[in-house]
Amino acid sequence: RLSWHDAGVYSTGQFKGGCPNAVMRFADSGEGAFGANAGLPTVAVGLLKDIAHKYVASGAISHADLWTLAANVAIETMGGPHIPTRFGRVDATSSAESVESQVGRLPDGDKGIDHLRDIFHPKGFDDKDIVALSGAHTVGRCSPDRSGFDGPWTSTPLKFNNEIGRASCRERV
């Protein structure tokens, strides 16, 4: 989720730019304060804090590369495909590099296909891509404080597979 939301604000459509690498780690404003990113600047970034302290501080890797590497390792660990990580991302230096709003850039969990098309077509995704991207919800769970939904997406939330999502996540708390 951290890696996707870091890149997910990118747009080539009505909104330009986005994806200022790892800007979400600045929780004072911008992407670090977006409702769609709730929990990421504290929980997810917090889980990587010790690794970042050791390797980012030494200049061996950027935060943005670490987040991408962590996502790729997690996918493979959960039984998904091996995804080679390409390094070289340069980190944002402050929240001032953030996009102005999540509106039109990140999808709302309670909207339908037209909303998803409005969000993802300007990023260059077609309907097939949107379905594939939605497959990320084969892992993890919903949290009421982050999305308004509650429960695991599937009966095996730590396994990357094609199981159909459970209704519990589709219902607002």
- List the beta bridge partners of residue 17: 11
Neighbours of 14 (CB within 10 A): 9
CA pair distance 26, 29, nearest whole angstrom? 7
List the structure tokens of 51: 């690794």
Instruction: Quote the crossing angle between the two packed helices 127-134 and 113-120, to the nearest 10°.
Output: 100
Place of tokens 């979400």: 24
- Selecting among 4, 63, 67, 153, the annotated active-site residue is 153
Count CA atoms within 13 Å of residue 91 on its CB side: 21
- Selecting among 4, 5, 82, 137, the annotated active-site residue is 5
Q: Residue 5 catalytic?
A: yes
Catalytic residues: 5, 153
